[in-house]
A and B are shown apart, each in its own frame.
Chain A
Amino acid sequence: MSPALIAGASAEAKDKAVKVAAGPVKLTGLNPKGVAPPVQLVPMAPRLSTLDGKTIFLVSDGFPGADHFLDQMATWFKKNMPSVTTEYRLKAGAFPDDDPKLNAEIKATGNAVIMAIGH
């Protein structure tokens, strides 16, 4: 993982050591950054060996157009992988909120999830 993806310019700042330029007056400036929390790596879920006969949940987080896009994806599966069952759901809550009820439903009745984010 690239820490730069998480810390942005702060990580770059470390990589680029400050070059002390020639000149009579030098100042020492302080780092104005806060503290980022450590990242706990989360192992990804095991993959399916096949999608045949499986149920895939198509989940929108509510951005405009995601529902429409997933509707077309359901159509794609119907045409190209007819043994796949798709179930559309709108995730509850604001965009970043977890939806434990939906997660439980997917765990109980689904095999995979495709989540659409963006608009």
Chain B
Amino acid sequence: MVTIAFKDLAKSTAASRGMPLERICFTPHPVWGKTDAEMYAYLEGNDPVSGKPLMKEVTDALTQPLTAEEEKTGQVEISMGPAVYTDTFENLQQYYLDNGMTDFMQIVIPTEEKLAEMLKGTSHKPDEIVGKMSPARGSYPDWTFNVRQVAINAVMAGAKPEYLPTILAIAETGLTSLSSSTNSFATAAVINGPIRDTLNMNYGIGAMGPFSQPNAAIGRAWTTLSRNLSNSGIPGQTYLGTLGNGVNYNNLIIAENEKNSPWTPLSVQKGFKPDENVVSVFVGFSISQGQGGIGLGVKPVPQYHEAIAYNCIPFGPLFGALIVCDPLVAQGLVELGYKTKEQLADWLQKNSLISAKNARSTLFANRWVPDPKTPDDSMVPYYQRADAYNFVVVGGQTNPYHMVANMSYRVSISIDKWA
């Protein structure tokens, strides 16, 4: 049984899992939030795809003998299309766009010449396998890709050869930037190490905005390669985000402002050395402003920790918290006694509380709820572990602001290994 909103997804997933004729019956959408009577009316009504009585279809699906097609076995190879396309510049732009290979903006046409130039950015062989990726791990087949294929996508995104190791490291994470989820997820990549300066990445004023070629092109390449190397981003089939997310254009690329941070770089927290170049990836709902937090107006010292806790209240428990602080905020927090990121995480975990009743009523509460014996009015930690909180310092110190992202840390990958 699948709701009609996921018709194409259900059929394509069944096909990709080897059961193209799986007997799927459809209900109207949504079922969530409907009354008993409304649900029952769905069952008494027709399947919106076939137009036939729904429960007759359900019982028939269980009792009608299998056809020869339904009993088939064997292997089906999947075509990936022609190796090259030859045409004028304008027609090729249209071709890549029409065939869903772009982010709907003009690309750099990936010719053999441009690919050869891009591949100078890595010592690795073009046919070396980089990794696997899917629109949602476990829900779709993983596609495999090599250095050459990542480099083609880097060309398309406007990257320079020296960006390629960072893009390869992002690709190796296997995390698509175009998650299939109905939630319209966003992704973030935090970059640490000397490569931030080598590439002239922006970690000062406007660090997360469109003001730097490496930040922009690396982020765009993540989406281009997600689309082409994992089949992510086909609306209705491999992308179901109901609202969509503008962050997906080139993602949150955050080169940590290590020079002006009083804290340990994120990569070092994750076990790397300070001189190693590392990308750490996050996924979650999105990022939002932090200026509205309580405590920021307290004089003479703004209570940044209170503001961060307040700004995380709307967070869904499906993901943790990525707190992005201008260096002025980080320095202020040190003055308030939070000498390390870990100390701040520990305070937030203990002091960001929600009533057990509210926790139980939170979306996704079917996956995380306090112990049933906990009284409704008891206050419980929003997150069960302090490491649900991660912090990155970035920005140009024009004002002591922070942003909060309802995102979870996934993995850190060495950039150096792809040099």
Residues of chain A having any CB pair with chain B under 8 Å: 1-3, 5-14, 16-21, 23, 25-44, 46-51, 56, 62-69, 71-73, 75-76, 80-81, 90, 94-97, 112, 114-119
Contact = CB atoms under 8 A, between A and B. Distances in A.
A27 B89 contact: yes
16 contacts: A5-B8, A8-B234, A18-B95, A34-B80, A34-B231, A36-B141, A38-B76, A44-B71, A51-B63, A65-B34, A68-B34, A69-B27, A72-B36, A76-B44, A96-B136, A118-B29
Contacts of A23: 88
What bracket does the count of chain B residues touching chain A fall in? 35 or more
Given A18-B95, A38-B76, 4 more contacts: A27-B111, A28-B84, A41-B74, A42-B18
Given A37-B142, A38-B77, A39-B78, A28 B112 contact: yes
Nearest to A79: B40
Contacts of B87: 18-21, 26-27, 29
Contacts of B237: 5, 8
Contacts of B123: none
A33 B229 contact: yes
Contacts of B133: 34
A100 to B, nearest CB: 14
A24 B75 CA distance: 44
A8 B80 CA distance: 9
A117 B99 contact: no
Contacts of A16: 99
A33 B81 contact: yes
A6 to B, nearest CB: 5
B366 interface: yes
B228 A33 contact: yes
A95 to B, nearest CB: 7
B1 A33 contact: no
Nearest to A18: B85
Interface in B99-127: 99-101, 109-112, 115
Contacts of B238: 8
B156 interface: yes
A112 B62 contact: yes
A72 B142 CA distance: 36
B67 to A, nearest CB: 9
Nearest to A60: B366
A105 B55 CA distance: 25
Contacts of B19: 41-42, 44
Given A47-B64, A68-B31, A75-B40, A13 B141 contact: no
Nearest to B34: A65
Contact of B43 (A1, A66, A76, A95): A76
B95 A32 contact: no
Contacts of A46: 66
Interface string B1-41: 11101101011100111111111000101111110100110
A114 B1 contact: yes
B96 A29 contact: yes
B81 A30 contact: no
A31 B156 CA distance: 11
B271 interface: no
A83 B204 CA distance: 70
B36 to A, nearest CB: 6
A39 B32 contact: no
B337 interface: no
Contacts of B234: 8-9
Contacts of A112: 62
Contact of A28 (B39, B40, B74, B86): B86
Nearest to A9: B100
Could you say which of A14, A28, A117 has the most chain B C-beta atoms within 10 Å of its C-beta?
A: A28
B143 A36 contact: yes
B22 A44 contact: yes
B81 A31 contact: yes
Nearest 8 CB-CB pairings of A with B: A65-B32, A118-B3, A1-B20, A13-B81, A96-B138, A9-B100, A34-B229, A34-B145
A26 B231 CA distance: 28
B152 interface: yes
A38 B143 CA distance: 10
A112 to B, nearest CB: 5
A94 B112 contact: no
Contacts of A67: 366
Contacts of B101: 9, 32-33
Contacts of A18: 82, 85-87, 95
B73 A43 contact: yes
B91 interface: yes
A30 B78 contact: no
A64 B318 CA distance: 13
A8 B285 CA distance: 25
A74 B403 CA distance: 47
